[in-house]
Amino acid sequence: MASLRFSALILGFSLLIFLTTPSHSLTCSSQKFTNNKLYEHCNDLPQLSSYLHWTHDSAAKSLSVAFVAPPAKPDGWIAWAINPTGAGMVGAQALIALKQSNGSMTVKTFNVSSYKSIVESKLSFDVMEMSADYSDGLMRIFATVALPDAAATTLSQVWQVGGSVTAGFPDRHEFQPANLNSKGTLDLLKGQSNSATGGDSRMKKKNIHGILNAVSWGIMFPVGIIIARYLRTFQSADPLWFYLHVFCQFSGYVIGVAGWGTGLKLGSESKGVQYTGHRNIGIALFSLATIQVFALLLRPKKDHKLRFYWNIYHHGVGYAILVLGIINVFKGLEMLHPAQKWKSAYIVVISVLGGIALLLEAITWIVVLRRKSSKSTKPYDGFTNGQGRQQPLAP
């Protein structure tokens, strides 16, 4: 009896889940449109919970589509595009559905010449009809377009969703893996939509780039500076502090060069995408660190007259690398949009290093002041007789 009740409870719970599941969790084959329009093919797109219904008219050299996706937020937008010149967003001819100020839906056409230049304009191919609607959390774009290349058997397609609209213009979308990988090809002969390859590989490269630079400029260099500034105060740590300092800085430099190289590779593969500030700081870091490493070979001896000026240069460049490195790590985090836990983890690491530095700053000041105090009360290297005349120490 108890087992029957338990089975009934499980069945009821399962039915509840089924009935309350949003409509956009269904596959495209089960989707119906209020205009009762039918399409020859439908594909569940691999990213952003999106679907494409389409019919290729080879005689009219046209393509009728219904693109279905949930916007990132209720007042957001969705977009479907054909890229006649390549793969990805740059060069795409986009249809974007969004809400107007009166709440009704509209479709606008945009030429995406670069990530920084999204211009509302006519497309490079004709659009015979287009409309949009919004219900049950889903936006839909309906359109019939002339094929950019009548002889082509495949099309490069891109789709996207965003969270907000400002003055009738779609705001910037997120740069999560799903957003970056929302592209592929449409095989007009086979009736298939194929996802783009290499998206996951590219994201792995970005993550490797971020980890290498966070470890090098963001952690190793600060640790090396802390060692040099504070451990050298303690006589018992000499010359250990020097070797630890060199190890941290040189290791950080090697790892940083690897991160810099992956950044150059990513930049060369990202046509039309530029992160000017992040790139310029990265170049400055690499240049300063290279000068710093090679300057070690030119380090004057302690009693040399140029040692004072070398120290000023060495410390100045070192602190510049420290500041620029931490700034660029945060810039990189803003670009990658990782889970919040990774940004929080780096903040914790930097905060801990900062706390250690403050504690050691106080300790070293106490040590230095005590050392000066003991020197000021220490007798001369000899003794004074009753007449005040200094006598040399006995051998």
Low-confidence residues of the chain: pLDDT under 70: 1-26, 114-117, 195-203, 269-274, 337-339, 376-395
Question: Please, is 117 exposed, middle or buried when counting C-beta atoms within 10 Å of its C-beta (0-12, 13-18, 19+)?
Answer: exposed
* Residue 385 included in any domain: no
In this structure, the answer to whether residues 305 and 269 fall within a common structural domain is yes
The CA distance from 225 to 316, in Å, is 11
* Residue 276 included in any domain: yes
Those residues whose C-beta lies under 8 Å from the C-beta of residue 299, and which sit 6 or more positions away, are 310, 314
Residue 302: how many other CB atoms lie within 10 Å: 7
Which pLDDT score, from 0 to 100, does residue 208 have? 87
Which pLDDT score, from 0 to 100, does residue 201 have? 60
* Residue 348 included in any domain: yes
The CA distance from 250 to 244, in Å, is 10
- pTM for this model (two decimals): 0.52
CATH number at residue 182: 2.60.40.1210
In this structure, the answer to whether residues 137 and 255 fall within a common structural domain is no
Which domain-ending residue is among 149, 182, 197?
197
Domain count, the chain: 2
75: containing domain: 23-197
The CA distance from 66 to 167, in Å, is 26
* Residue 164 included in any domain: yes
* Residue 394 included in any domain: no
Question: Please, is 202 exposed, middle or buried when counting C-beta atoms within 10 Å of its C-beta (0-12, 13-18, 19+)?
Answer: middle
Dihedral, 320, 324, 239, 356 alpha carbons, nearest 10: 110
In this structure, the answer to whether residues 113 and 127 fall within a common structural domain is yes
Which pLDDT score, from 0 to 100, does residue 394 have? 40
The CA distance from 8 to 3, in Å, is 9
* Residue 13 included in any domain: no
Which pLDDT score, from 0 to 100, does residue 6 have? 42
Which pLDDT score, from 0 to 100, does residue 108 have? 92
Structure tokens at 254: 């090697």
Contact 78, 139 (CB under 8 A): yes
